[in-house]
A and B are shown apart, each in its own frame.
Chain A
Amino acid sequence: MRFGRISSLLLVTALLSIAAAGCEREERRFREVPPAADQSTNVVQSDLQPGPSIVATATQHPYDDNAYAIASGKRLYVQMNCAGCHGLAGGGSIGPPLLDDKWIYGSDPSNIFSTIVEGRPNGMPSWKGKLSNDQVWQLVAYVRDLSGLHRKDVRNSRGDNMAAVQDEQNRNRQTPRSSFEPPGSVTTP
């Protein structure tokens, strides 16, 4: 009887922890401090470096695995009118497309962060002072989501509006092109 009680308690605990682990799809960090609180440090814009090149280390984006942040980024993408220029589904219009593998100002999260904050000379507005760091990071997360750069289970699924393109979750990853590969490296599609 006693043993039975303990075992059932253990069973419940075990079940609960399994259930809890199932919920733990992602770690929700709601108030993420950007790695470089200063909005302009350590961001390299060009692949071309004179002399010996520093091996580029990709920024670990705090929201890369955060479904909540990616979904919030989508909301901001519409509300802040990013969609008006880059297309609701990221196909581009006034601005360049975001659902492909071409990145004019870099695909690294830190590059996208500074593109949004600083603006770019050919029409990209500067959002400095208009959005919190947190919101910019959410946008960065969604911008990367448009070309399928996140793991599948955290991506956005089908939207509510008239469908324009395959939903984010089922898009194939569009690996950003980069010149950082050593000479002789071969890529196949």
Chain B
Amino acid sequence: MARGVALVAALATLGCLKESSDDRPTREAVSAASASASGLPVIAPAATSADDGQWTMPQKDYANSRYSSLAEITPENAKNLKLAFTFSTGILRGHEAGPLVVNNTMYVVTPFPNYLYALDLTKEGAPMKWRYDPKPAASAQGVACCDVVNRGAVYYDGKIIYNTLDAHTVAVDAKDGHEVWNTKVGDINLGESVTMAPLVAKGKVFVGNSGGEFGVRGWIVALDAGSGKIAWRAYNTGPDSEVKIGPQFKPFYDQDKGKDLGVKTWPGDAWRTGGANVWGWLAYDPELDLLYHGTGNPGPWNPEQRPGDNKWSSGIFARRPDDGSAVWYYQWSYHDTFDYDGINEQVLLDMQFGGRPRKVLVRAERNGYVYVLDRQTGEVLSATPFGFVNSSKGVDLKTGRLIYATDKQPKLGEVTRNICPSSPGMKDWQPTAYSPRTGYLYIPHQNLCMDHEAVEANYIAGTPYVGMIAKFTSGPGGNRGVFQAWDIVNRKEVWSIPEKFPVWSGTLVTAGDVAFYGTMDGWFKVVNAKTGDVVWKFKTGSGIIGQPITYKGPDGHQYVAIMDGVGGWSGAIVAGGIDPRDSTAALGFVNAMKDLPAATTKGGMLYVFSL
């Protein structure tokens, strides 16, 4: 009976929201962005990349634009693309990283065991120069929530710097592959691992931990890029002194002001096992001297075990890179009840908003909204849904608070149905790209809903600490993935390409007005960035969850590279050999991916194309 009522209520809500989809929640609350004032948003000039023939960090530049000014490949000639060379990593887990290209050498970092390969682009077939093996502890695989992925390396000052699954940061000589330093930054016995790509600024390497599903207390650490020595470490839960909240901290909204909120917004000592990890993307604005990082979901997922706002989880910090001092903070999803982890990339843009120029960061957030924030203050300028959302009703722009739908909240021992988006959100880690030529943000994302039920979670260090049973399903329309062009100024979709499976790959857009992405069933696609027409595609051996990059080869021509190798959270059913009969496996993702094993198999191959 209760179930029947809940179902009817859910259907009714669904009906309501569908009907009112024109009247999007934030519409009235925001003053309209001026569409015609002075053209399109530009990539924050101080945070752009100088040398465009290379690809020296996964984000392309500090602004996270993933935009290249190379323009040889166009919608017209893309059909002539052909394979230039391939390379097998020998590893068969989810390949989420993209390669780097520096000084005519390509660097490829693999999932666990985290090999680093250097390929010589000056020679035919790009033969291997060397391979570096960091020999990470095999046991680390037991604390990796969502496949044993790695999201990439960064080049800095003659070194390739990246993280290993067993929570080490390593620096390798870019010329000969010898290890320059190797710093243990975390402890797998606490459930810590590191999967994110570090960012280097002002001579410091910034690294954060993973472990939001293991009750790991989240932190970001700064290492000296020359020596590997730890300069500072800031936690994202706990007392102000450990969060590095001091006199400089000026959050925009009142709920973020007060002493030791990282303790007081948790029951008892729950902040010690409260998550708020830094496993996603970092950005840096050299002009404002602010380092931006998201914070992950609070732990455990079961929200009844942690009443309160759970600061500083599922939010974003702006910090000083020199000493980690927090400058502002904003919480995307307070008291996050859905695992709406706040770790996605922020794209730093300068644009007109409300008739005046603003320095903003634009972020397609997991909770389903594209946010535009003032990156100097943390003020939310707009938040607009970019897909079907019923777990919340919008963002209150006065308070900055997400307005949760009360009927979708999880309860202990009770099943709540049809919550959209599901735990991986409208968009997970897979990064967007921004083209200043079109003014569009290219968003690879998923379209999933879920049923879930909270259960008691039991904290045992180094083991999963979740307390939620979930089953994901396809969202409205049935397509589980979307590749979407989003008009930042007008805050609306321009075009979108539905995909059968979640679009779990990153994307790239160029001055040739082409965008690139890959699908989990193994299609690498080239899209006209203006119209969304697929102008060329290539079938890879395994599904794609990697990040495409482009570079200028030694011959002066443009190349584009992508790794295949399905896996990650969405592809764990294949990479981890999960039994599809268990709908709740992989934290509920398996229920939505039961047909993936019939569509693709494991792999780990680099493909490089040129005209």
A-side interface residues toward B, CB under 8 Å? 78-81, 83-85, 87-97, 99-100, 119, 121-125, 160-162, 164-166
Q: Which residue of B lies closest to A85 (CB)?
A: B464
Is the CB–CB distance between B142 and A92 below 8 Å? no
Does B572 sit at the interface, judged by CB under 8 A? yes
Is the CB–CB distance between B463 and A85 below 8 Å? yes
Is the CB–CB distance between B469 and A161 below 8 Å? yes
Is the CB–CB distance between B578 and A97 below 8 Å? yes
Q: Which of A79, A93, A119 has the most CB of B within 10 A?
A: A93
Which B residues, 574 to 590, have Cβ-Cβ distances below 8 Å to chain A?
576-587, 590
Is the CB–CB distance between A123 and B141 below 8 Å? yes
Is the CB–CB distance between B138 and A122 below 8 Å? yes
Q: Which residue of A lies closest to B460 (CB)?
A: A81
Is the CB–CB distance between A93 and B142 below 8 Å? no
B-side interface residues toward A, CB under 8 Å? 138-145, 213, 413, 415, 451-453, 455, 458, 460, 462-466, 469, 471, 572, 576-587, 590
- Complex interface: chain A residues within 8 A of B465 (CB): 81, 84
CA distance A119 to B137 in the complex (A): 14
CA distance A80 to B450 in the complex (A): 26
- Complex interface: chain A residues within 8 A of B138 (CB): 121-123
Sort A-B residue pairs by CB-CB distance and give the 5 closest, nearest first.
A91-B582, A84-B464, A123-B142, A91-B585, A97-B579
Is the CB–CB distance between A125 and B583 below 8 Å? no
Query: Given contacts A93-B572, A94-B145, A122-B142, are A80 and B579 in contact (CB under 8 A)?
Result: no
- Complex interface: chain A residues within 8 A of B455 (CB): 78, 161
Choose among B139, B142, B590 the residue that contacts A85 (Cβ–Cβ < 8 A). B142
CB distance from B462 to the nearest CB of A (A): 6
Is the CB–CB distance between B142 and A91 below 8 Å? no
Is the CB–CB distance between B463 and A84 below 8 Å? yes
Query: Given contacts A121-B139, A161-B469, A164-B583, are A92 and B576 in contact (CB under 8 A)?
Result: yes
Q: List 7 A-B contacts (CB under 8 A).
A: A88-B469, A89-B584, A93-B576, A94-B576, A119-B139, A121-B138, A123-B138
- Complex interface: chain B residues within 8 A of A164 (CB): 469, 471, 582-585
Is the CB–CB distance between A90 and B579 below 8 Å? yes
- Complex interface: chain A residues within 8 A of B451 (CB): 162
Is the CB–CB distance between A122 and B141 below 8 Å? yes
Is the CB–CB distance between A162 and B584 below 8 Å? yes
Query: Given contacts A97-B578, A123-B141, are A92 and B585 in contact (CB under 8 A)?
Result: yes
20 A-B pairs besides A81-B464, A88-B582 with CB distance below 8 A are A78-B458, A81-B460, A84-B213, A84-B464, A84-B465, A87-B579, A88-B584, A91-B580, A91-B584, A92-B585, A94-B142, A94-B576, A122-B138, A122-B141, A123-B144, A125-B142, A161-B455, A162-B453, A162-B469, A164-B585
